[in-house]
Structure 1
């Protein structure tokens, strides 16, 4: 009963402020204030405020919110563990099959396809860019600079 009265008073005050704002010839702002002021009144008329008031003082409702929170926590935990392990068990098995399939089907597979086992535990040497490729990059930049007169 008190919550409905408070919401109705807030709506009446908001509509009063909207009238004063409209009197000052700020119609767009007055319409926006009136729209905000009608929200609490609409919630009272729809019965949402009564439902919320009954829920706020109900121990069963709070227990329900606790169960929902626990459920969310369990979902979040399993999702985190799944990400750290690299996916679900089904996804890991599929990835293992895909990784081993090229090695088994093509005898002349390259070292990256076979993984660390074929390199003898050594990491592959880093690739170096050919010198011609670096020259091409600079020639493109020089051409752009010359085009703009720099």
Structure 2
């Protein structure tokens, strides 16, 4: 597209936007007018930075669209791989399971007994032992 045509379109969009901003200022106040004026500056700023020419060339070029598609595919693959790494996909966990040393099946007897004794409650109690312990700590500190 020619530069003269792009300049004319950008200038017209900016002027029309500024006129609409003036109307918004009169009807809804200064904040709406300033917001409209800010958006009105975008087309002329895009022309002056060369973004308009790039976008016009992009719209009519299949090669550039192929590049945009590859960029999007790369971004999508990156995001999906990040999700897979966070959740720990089964395909990647398999080698780790085989090489990881097995944990002992039972804990030391002294530690297990004391833990069980501290968690015991009366048989008919509906209170969770962990919550009872937290309540006890809070009462000792005067927070209840």
TM range (shorter): 0.5 to 0.7
Structure 1 Cα separation of the partners of residues 19 and 45 of structure 2: 17
**Other-structure match for 2:97:** 95
Output one character per residue of 1:104-143: Cα deviation in whole Å (capped at 9) or x when no partner. xxxxx24xxxxxxxxxxxxxxxxxx973332x47xx9xxx
Alpha-carbon RMSD across the aligned residues, in angstroms, is 3.7
TM-score, with length taken from structure 1? 0.54
Gaps of 5+ in 2: 107-120, 133-144
Structure number with the bigger relative contact order (C-alpha 8 A, sep ≥ 6) is: 2
Q: CA deviation at 1:43?
A: 0.7
Alpha-carbon distance change, 57 to 20 in structure 1, aligned in 2, over 3 angstroms: same
Are 1:8 and 2:11 matched, yes or no? yes
**Other-structure match for 2:38:** 35
Gaps of 5+ in 1: 104-108, 111-128, 141-150
> Which 4+ runs in 1 deviate beyond 4 A?
69-85
**Other-structure match for 1:59:** 62
Structure 2 Cα separation of the partners of residues 75 and 17 of structure 1: 42
TM-score, with length taken from structure 2? 0.55
Q: CA deviation at 1:42?
A: 0.8
Q: CA deviation at 1:61?
A: 1.1
Structure 2 Cα separation of the partners of residues 87 and 79 of structure 1: 15
**Other-structure match for 1:113:** none
Structure 1 Cα separation of the partners of residues 32 and 80 of structure 2: 46
